[in-house]
Structure 1
Amino acid sequence: MKNLTIAEIEKKLFHLKRPSRTFINHLKEDDRAGVQVLLAKWLRLEEQKKLAQKKFALMSQHEKRIHSEGFQLIAGIDEVGRGPLAGPVVAAAVILPDDFYLPGIDDSKKLTEQKREEYDEYIRSYAVNIGIGRIEAEEIDRINIYEATKKAMLSAVAQLNPKPDYLLIDAVKLETPYPYEAIIKGDGSSITIAAASIVAKVYRDRLMKEASIQYPHYHFSKNMGYGTKEHLEAIQTYGISPYHRKSFAPVRDWK
């Protein structure tokens, strides 16, 4: 191995096809500190890949069981935006193909913004279909956030074409003609619900970034409508915007 430079070893490890076991064993015997640093990094990444593959298999168990019962088109449903002081509540419904594979997929809250964007693009490229439901602040104030969440979810499902024959929903029980399961913390235990959580989160974040252009004082692009100190101070200074939920404390105290 010593006839290879450290730069060449890095290329073979990280930029070419998977290195052979013989190559890795030779690296273990290389006494150059730079080589050992690269090898340690590669081994960490390999371990992370194995853990992601294992978790993906665990998160696919709901889907495999439901497929074994004869259902074909399983829609995962999740929402984002129940807690913020401003902005809509958004739900996504996602039908994935049987051979969908994305190790690393998880509850959107556990992913970085970069990973969410990357996974959202991948999911949209391979999904059988996606529906988005969106309920604005004014309607949230009128019907309450729980009813708005259910309405957003049902709207997302109604947009699906082809229609699903089974629903996996994150925690919420719906009145729907489709058989379904409401799974507590489903966005971390089902690949279809996780996919819906990512799509909904990316979609809503983009809406809030657009709102931030119109109303820069509230820093929606940073807080996504949540009640951060900076956001609350802006409400005290500038009042509320059309994006704010007037029924939510402490917004209702300043309306």
Structure 2
Amino acid sequence: MFIPLHDANTLKRIKLQYVTLGIIGFNIAVYLFGFFGGVAREEVAILGFGLIPSTISGIAERPDFMVIVPDLATFATYGFLHGGLLHLGGNMLFLWVFGDNVEDAMGHARFVLFYLACSVAGGAVHFLVAPDSQVPLIGASGAIAGVVAAYLVLHPRVKIWILAFGRIPLRLPAWIALALWIVFQIGMFLFFPEDQVSWAAHVGGILCGGVLVFLLRLPEIPLMDSTIVTPRAVVTDAQVRSVPRVRRRVSP
């Protein structure tokens, strides 16, 4: 639907978003480990760490050599696997743009809990919707959807740059772009539940993120941008209007 590029929203309380950077680095490392290990290693990783609903519900079983972690643990591990470079890049770009400000609002430790909870919630909704599925669920999309929902609650009025439909640059308030993105995820879940994309996992992450942001944000953090700190080197429309016009006389 769109590709996020940048948000004019600097960090206010933490010096560095090292949890966000660490999650991005870990996801990239996991992907490279599977990629350079060849198809066999990649398949073992997907079948060993991916979330397979039918094995959790007892309809099917993994072969012994594929049991790397318990089935219930895959509700967390599936979120660190990706099926391709575009899959990985898209998720990590969303996390790069929006994750730092959510981490800033929660603090490092709470953000770790928040991220993992959204990933688990995404996997749980996917499981509830398709408990007999034998297709492994992989990807950080559930957790990323939770981050997007939290950002929308925290900073709806911040302007963000996006590429609409992958090619049209636009600068929009977050509430327009992200609300449309969330509506799109829910619509796809309702009307195309059998798609290859697990829209159910996205919806689970959105619901979890939208609730947990109220519980895990630091007490002094306002919601809905009730107070906005203008980032350095950014001029707002109000500031532009307040600058007096200077008349200059040009010598002949």
Higher strand share: 1
Q: TM-score, normalised by structure 2?
A: 0.25
Higher helix share: 2
Q: TM-score, normalised by structure 1?
A: 0.24
The structure, 1 or 2, with the larger RCO (C-alpha pairs under 8 Å, 6+ apart) is: 2
Whose radius of gyration is greater, 1 or 2? Answer: 1
